[in-house]
Amino acid sequence: MIFFRSLFFNIFLYSGIALVSIAAVPFLFLKEKHMLFLGRFLSHYVIWILKIFLNTKTEFKGLDNLTKYEKFFVASAHQSMFETFALQTVIDGPIFILKKELLRIPFFGWGLKKIGAIEIVRNTTTKKNLNFFDRIKESIEKSNRPLLIFPQGTRVKHKDRVPFKKGVGKIYETLKMPCIPVGLNSGKVWPKNTFNKYPGKITISFLAPIQPGLEKEKFIEKLEAEIYKEIDLID
């Protein structure tokens, strides 16, 4: 039963992504806000089909933490493709940091470029990477949109507790603004690199902001502790 429910979910998921990506082509010639609207529509669609086919509900906690400051950035745990969609339904036009390969995908990648996604070349030093943090700050100042990062660097199993990337501390140091940590348990329902998805409830929890001013090493330590503590509580 899980196989067939997952089959239908995956068909509707990837068909939906493909159709929205193609439909987005005219939006490339419009203002950024129109492409952001399309991205939010797709994100609501993903939550909806997950509920329809897998009977999986999505719960957001601590949303009031998103309204405490005009400028902030969000650092979220990353267990699944799910949160890249779901977070867009409650964060107003987040700026993503993505591996460059995603921006090379026809239609889909063009849309990501349109909304100002920032590319990074992993595990190498390039001219673009050298001014990476300056580009992040410039993008936020120009767009007045919040940055969304995944400090684990990639998707991990929901029971794994990998150390956060050091670059997260540099982002915090550069931006000098509050950081809102996010704990979640999406990996229990939508595990990375698996075909099957499972019924249940996905909880996405926005925690109290970490204020600017800490040493970057202390910030990473605090961020990691708070996110993993919240994941343990959710589980």
Q: Which CATH number fits domain 2-234: 3.30.110, 3.40.1130, 2.60.40, 1.20.58?
A: 3.40.1130
β-pair partners for 57: 201
The residue extents of the domains of the chain are 2-234
Instruction: Look at 100 and 134; give whichever has higher pLDDT.
Output: 134
Q: What average pLDDT does the segment 5-14 reach?
A: 96
Least confident stretch, 76-85, 101-110, 203-212, 223-232? 101-110
- Predicted local distance difference test score (pLDDT) of residue 122: 62
Query: Could you say which DSSP state residue 25 is in?
Result: G
Per-residue pLDDT at 129 exceeds 80:
no
Least confident stretch, 136-140, 159-163, 218-222? 136-140
Task: Give the gyration radius of the chain's Cα atoms.
Answer: 17
pTM for the whole structure: 0.91
Per-residue pLDDT at 124 exceeds 90:
no
Query: Could you say which DSSP state residue 63 is in?
Result: G
Give the C-alpha separation, 54 to 198, whole Å.
Answer: 6
- Say how many Å lie between the first and final Cα of the chain, rounded: 24
Give the C-alpha separation, 151 to 153, whole Å.
Answer: 5
- The encoded tokens of residue 34 equal 């129109």
